[in-house]
């Protein structure tokens, strides 16, 4: 079990949630149940799945939740590109947030691989005792 609040990927993804909630305030009101809702939900999904996975009993379960979190990060990246292309998002905001999202994507990917390697090593060690 991991303390999710100490994980850098969780902390950085929480910063992204704040950024998203702030920038979508300026989107047109008719997007309230469209792009605004989608971007808010999937940004919240990133740290939420990291937190949920950290409480699981195995690294295998944690990796599965990290995969969901990574998928949400890619979904958010797509929504940011859409918002930028249709003129809802200022270029500076887009560049700042997309950079954070890309960093979190890489961090999740590396952390997931590290958990996989740890699990394989643990299984190898256990095989000597069985």
CATH number of 4-127: 1.20.1440.60
Which pLDDT score, from 0 to 100, does residue 67 have? 96
**In the structure, what pLDDT confidence band is assigned to residue 119 with cuts at 50, 70 and 90?**
low
CA-based nearest residue to 27, from 42, 15, 13, 37: 37
Which pLDDT score, from 0 to 100, does residue 56 have? 87
- Mean per-residue pLDDT for 22-30? 95
Which residue has 């939900």 as its token pair?
Answer: 41
Note the pTM of the prediction, 2 decimals.
0.88
Read off the pLDDT of residues 54-108 as tens digits, 9 standing for 90 and up. Answer: 998 888 899 999 999 999 999 999 999 999 999 999 999 999 999 999 999 999 9
Does residue 110 have a pLDDT over 90? yes
Domain-wise residue ranges, the chain? 4-127
């Amino acid at each position: 079990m991991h303390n999710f609040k100490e994980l850098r990927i969780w902390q950085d993804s929480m910063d992204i949630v704040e950024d998203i909630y702030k920038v979508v305030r300026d989107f047109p009101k008719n997007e309230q149940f469209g792009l605004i809702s989608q971007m808010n939900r999937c940004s919240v999904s990133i740290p939420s799945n990291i937190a949920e996975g950290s409480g699981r009993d195995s690294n295998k379960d944690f990796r599965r939740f990290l995969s969901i979190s990574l998928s949400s990060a890619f979904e958010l990246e797509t929504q940011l590109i859409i918002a930028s292309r249709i003129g809802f998002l200022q270029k500076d905001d887009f560049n700042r947030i997309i950079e954070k999202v890309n960093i979190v994507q890489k961090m999740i990917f590396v952390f997931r691989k590290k958990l996989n390697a740890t699990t394989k090593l643990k299984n190898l060690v256990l095989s000597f005792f069985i």
